[in-house]
């Protein structure tokens, strides 16, 4: 009886940690697909609290055969403006990229942007890994992203629950460039999304 109770408790715990699956239709994903004409590239975003310096969120943009953002447990696409499949956002053209970064940068947060040009083969592998990852539970953004990076760069990047540690490891890779975006809007970042016209973005 005791083992049954423990098993039930464990299953309930796991169920509580499960993330909801989101799966856009094939036609929406195909219609939104965007291929940036720049080099194959990985861009790691780290959102950092300006008050205490702690990492608040981690995400990864991949420019391969198409450009996507892996936004694990992120809030950017809550309104469903973009086709999404389990935390992978499609249709990341320059306007969407700009809105994404400005959505996260505000009075209390800055965005650390680290870029690394990679081979087409590595970019394509990264694209396949993020698409195959599945939905990510809350508070596991850094762990999910670093796990993918550890597969791409074995022995150079390990898994970490902490966004700044993941950024630090990624920053040690040869060829990484870095910049930080500061903005001083209020913490209510809904105005960034309100000013964005998704239909116009899709048409570009």
Task: List the domain boundaries for the chain.
Answer: 28-203
Residue 85 is inside which H or E element, if any? Answer: strand 84-85
Q: Which residue has the tokens 């990679």?
A: 118
> What angle, rounded to 10 degrees, do the helices at 141-152 and 163-171 form?
20
For residue 176, give the 3-state DSSP assignment.
Answer: coil
pLDDT attached to residue 187: 74
Contact (CB, 8 A) for 145 and 166: yes
For residue 1, the model assigns a pLDDT of 46
Cα–Cα distance measured from residue 105 to residue 187, given in angstroms and rounded to the nearest whole number = 9
Q: What strand order describes the sheet that includes 67-70?
A: 84-85, 88-90, 67-70, 55-63, 41-49, 109-117, 177-181
97 exposure class (CB count in 10 Å sphere: 0-12, 13-18, 19+)? middle
Which residue is associated with the tokens 């590239």? 41
pLDDT value at position 2?
45
DSSP state, 64?
S
pLDDT value of position 77: 95
Under DSSP, is residue 178 helix (H, G, I), strand (E, B) or coil?
Answer: strand
pTM of the entire predicted model: 0.87
Q: Tell me the pLDDT of the chain (204 aa) as tens digits.
A: 444 333 333 333 333 456 899 999 999 999 999 999 999 999 999 999 999 999 999 999 999 999 999 999 999 999 999 999 999 999 999 999 999 999 999 999 999 999 999 999 999 999 999 999 999 999 999 999 999 999 999 999 999 999 999 999 999 999 999 999 999 877 776 666 666 655 544 555
Res 193: pLDDT: 67
Q: What is the predicted pLDDT for the residue at 184?
A: 84
Structure-block tokens of residue 37: 């004409």
Burial tier of 96 (Cβ tally within 10 Å: 0-12, 13-18, 19+): buried
Task: Identify the DSSP state of 40.
Answer: S
């Amino acid at each position: 009886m005791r083992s049954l109770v423990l098993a039930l408790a464990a299953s309930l715990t796991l169920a509580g940690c499960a993330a909801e699956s989101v799966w856009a239709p094939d036609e929406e994903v195909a219609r939104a697909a965007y291929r940036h004409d720049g080099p194959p590239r990985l861009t790691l975003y780290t959102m950092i609290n300006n008050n205490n310096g702690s990492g608040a969120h981690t995400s990864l943009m991949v420019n391969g055969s198409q450009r996507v953002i892996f936004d694990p447990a992120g809030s950017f696409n809550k309104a469903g403006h973009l086709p999404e499949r389990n935390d992978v956002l499609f249709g990341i053209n320059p306007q969407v990229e700009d809105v994404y970064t400005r959505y996260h940068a505000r009075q209390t947060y800055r965005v650390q942007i680290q870029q690394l040009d990679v081979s087409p083969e590595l970019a394509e592998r990264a694209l396949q890994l993020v698409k195959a990852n599945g939905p990510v539970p809350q508070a596991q953004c850094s762990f999910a992203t670093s796990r993918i990076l550890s597969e791409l760069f074995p022995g150079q990047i390990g898994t970490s629950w902490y966004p700044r540690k993941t950024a630090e490891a990624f920053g040690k890779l040869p060829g990484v460039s870095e910049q930080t975006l500061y903005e001083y809007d209020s913490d209510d970042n809904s105005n960034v999304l309100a000013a964005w016209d998704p239909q116009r973005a899709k048409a570009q």
